[in-house]
Every structure is written in structure tokens, then in C-alpha cells.
Structure 1
Amino acid sequence: MDVGALVEQAQQSLVRTPNRFLGALETGTVTPARLRVLAGELYWLVSSDRRSCALLAERFPSSPLFAGLAEGEEEALRLLLDFAAAVDLSEADLRAYEPRPLAQAYPAFLAQTAAFGPRSALPFALLVNVEESGGYYTRAADALVARYGFTEQAVAHFRFFADTPEEVLKLAVDTVVTGLSEGDYPVALLRVARMVNAYETAFWSTVAD
């Protein structure tokens, strides 16, 4: 099966909605308190995703993608501490932060899929959503620098997720090809990609409210 065609099919099925949080960020109307909410939610999201990728690496040790993704999440978590410090939060503050359930639906679904889903589900969702998700992080980093005076060090977490290396995308394609060849159902991949997109939208909507 043509992975590119399947990705295009999934992208055409996505429901696109304006990102209200980023819209407010770009106009400079997000308060410092709201930026602290963003840092807290991202801390719990990335912490969960790191464990989900590590679980996938254990389930599918022949796929080098997942161990690399787990390492990437570890790096993203480290970089997030610089953003947190810029909004006056320590790592202890992040650990004490009470996450909002709807914001954490995204990592919860990733954890469920990592535990019970097919090999190719999350790599396929990555391929489908990488451009939109990366664009969100680019917008966040640019707005934080331009509107709020953050340093590049402080927004390095957002820059990290803004640009997914080509070698990672190639490994994702290879993993999807392997999964499909071993019986993963395309309809399941399409469903996961749509749900990941919807849950990411819910994350940004929740931190905007």
C-alpha cells in the first residue's frame, strides 16, 4: 500500500479549526499566568509521551524509531525547564502543577495506543500531523520571542518540536510499511491519526480557556 496516498487520505479527513491560544499569543494578549499553565500542561504531556515511546520501543524492539522518539521526548523535557524558568516556575513547581483533564486527553490517548495499538499507528499519526503540529510550535516560539521578549534558549523546547528531522520521518514511513505488511489495518491507522489531531486541538483549546 502507498503510505503517501494513505497519509494524504487521512489529512483530507481532518477537521481544521483555528488555534485560539496561538492566535492570542500572536496578539500579545496571553497573560503570564496562562503561560505558566502552558508550561505545566506541557510538562505532564511530554513526561507521558516519553514513557509511551519507551513502551513502544519495548513492544517493537526491531523498529529503531521508537527508542529515538523516547530520547527526543527526554530532550524536549529538559528544554522545557528553560521555558518554565522564564515564566518563574521551577521543576518542583511543574511536578506540583495540577493538570487539566481535557488537556491531558492527548497524552492519555497516546499512552493507550502505545500499550494496545498496532506498531504503525503512532508513526502514521506523526506523518499525518507533523506539518500542522510543527507549525503550531513554530508560531508559539516566534510569538514568544517577538511579543514577549523571550530568548531563543527559553523557547528551545518549541523550536525542538517545530522541525522534525527527515531521518525521523523516513523511519516513520519504514515502520508504517512494516506494520502494514504484517497485517495492521489501514482503517485503524486513519482513525488514530484523526483522533491524535482532535486531541491535540483539544489541548490547545483547553490551555486557551
Structure 2
Amino acid sequence: MSRTARDLLDTTRRELAPGEHENRLVPLVAQGKAPVAVLGALAAEQHHVITSDWRSFLTLAARADQQDAREFFSGLGQGEGLALGKLAAFASACGLDADAVRAYEPMAGCQAYPAYQAWLALNGDPVDVVLALVANFSAWGNYCATITRALREHYGFDDEACGFFDFFATPSPEMEEQALAVAQNGIDAGRPADRARRYGRLLQSYELMFWNTLADRAEVFLGQSPR
């Protein structure tokens, strides 16, 4: 395979990698300082994110004109369904049952990410979106790996309660190779994927907004002034 898609992904991932201190919540969780109430808010916000992204991925699958792109987005949709099932155990460990999750009022700063994902589902070229998503997934996976270690070490959560973060913390080389094949086929067909970086930049910015909105809530619990 030509390295064009790989080069584009590597460049996008390198340029968009978040700085060490940009995410203010994950370090609090890593140190065991994030209140359990904020972890519960994380669970409830993720419930809204996952249910929205599931529909967005299926919409992208329906819009894609390449079979491999349809399969890629359909696979992501199936993954969201699996993740949603695992999320309930994390919410329960944080003291939230299904009724509490349904009653939770989401925060705008946390829901900007899935809102933009829904915009991409309707407006983005699927080839660009594939690269933007995969570039963003590496940061998300690293955050999940840090959180799942901290939940066991500092909060005493069991394997079931950590399953949601374990799921996303596990790298998937096969998924990345599938995404690269989708992107390369699109590029070879004359679609240059020139908006992948823009889409990736905005996804990364909205993801940091998600985490830092929750960090603001944590700082209130800790008696600090939110930034």
C-alpha cells in the first residue's frame, strides 16, 4: 500500500497530540483526587456521548459510498453498543443506577464533542472523518488506560466497573489498518482527504472541552476556583 494515507495519519496525529497539561481531569483521577461524584458525572455524560456517537457512526456508514468505509463505520457502531453495556457497571460503582443516569442533566461543554460528531455524520466526507477519528482515538485510548489503572488503585473498583475504560484502552491495530485502507482507497479514487486535519483538530478540541468541563466541577468539589 502507498504510504500516503499512513503519512497523513501520522502527521495529523503528531500535530494534534494534546499537551501534557491540557487535560485537567485525568491527572486528578490518576492521583485519586477526583471526587466519586465527578466520576459519576463522567459516567452519565458518557452515556449521552455513546448513544449519540452510535447513531452518528451508523449514519456515516449509510452515507459512505465505499464498501470498506461502510464496514468500518458499522464496526465502530457495534463497538459503541458494546461500550454502552459496559458503562452501566461503571455508573453503578459511582452510585448511579439507570434511573439516575436518565435523570442526569448533561453539560454543554461535555456534549460539544458528540454534537460535532453528529455534524460530521451529516456533512463530513467519510474518508476525511475516518482519518480524523483514528488520529483522535489514540489520545482517548491513553486517557482510558490512565483512568482504568487509577480506578483500581485509588478507588477500589473491580474489573466489571473498569470494563468500559479497559475496552477503549486496548489498542486495535486491526482497526487502524482498516481505517488506513479506507483512506487510501478514497485517496486513490481522487478524494484527497484534505479536511482530515481540520476535523481532527476540532474533535480534539471538543474532547478536551469534555474533560475540562468535568475538571471544573471537580475543582468546585475540592473547594478550588474553576478555571
TM-score bracket, shorter-length normalisation? over 0.9
**1:9 maps to 2:16:** no
Matches within 5 A, 1:185-200: 185-200=192-207
Structure 1: segments with no counterpart, 5+ residues: none
**Secondary structure at the counterpart of residue 38 of structure 1:** helix
Q: 1:144 aligns with which of 139, 144, 151?
A: 151
**1:75 maps to 2:85:** no
Aligned to 1:124: 131
Change beyond 3 A, Cα 1:8–1:169: closer
**Secondary structure at the counterpart of residue 186 of structure 1:** coil
The Cα offsets for residues 162-189 of structure 1, whole Å up to 9 and x where unpaired, read as 1242221121111111222344343311
Aligned to 1:56: 60
TM-score (norm 1): 0.94
CA separation in 2, counterparts of 1:190 and 1:183?
Answer: 18
**1:184 maps to 2:191:** yes
CA shift, 1:15, in A, is 6.0
**Secondary structure at the counterpart of residue 187 of structure 1:** coil
Given that 1:130 and 1:164 are in contact with CA atoms closer than 8 Å, whether structure 2 keeps it comes out as no
Given that 1:54 and 1:67 are in contact with CA atoms closer than 8 Å, whether structure 2 keeps it comes out as yes
CA separation in 2, counterparts of 1:12 and 1:171?
Answer: 20
CA shift, 1:128, in A, is 1.5
CA separation in 2, counterparts of 1:135 and 1:189?
Answer: 21
TM-score (norm 2): 0.87
Q: 1:38 aligns with which of 39, 42, 56?
A: 42
Aligned to 2:25: 21
Aligned-residue identity in percent: 33
Amino acid at match of 1:56: L
Aligned to 1:98: 105
The Cα offsets for residues 96-148 of structure 1, whole Å up to 9 and x where unpaired, read as 21111111111111111011110112210233223222110000111111000
CA separation in 2, counterparts of 1:26 and 1:85?
Answer: 20
The Cα offsets for residues 34-69 of structure 1, whole Å up to 9 and x where unpaired, read as 111111111101111111111112112623111111
**RMSD over aligned Cα atoms:** 1.6
Change beyond 3 A, Cα 1:29–1:152: same
Q: How many corresponding residue pairs?
A: 209
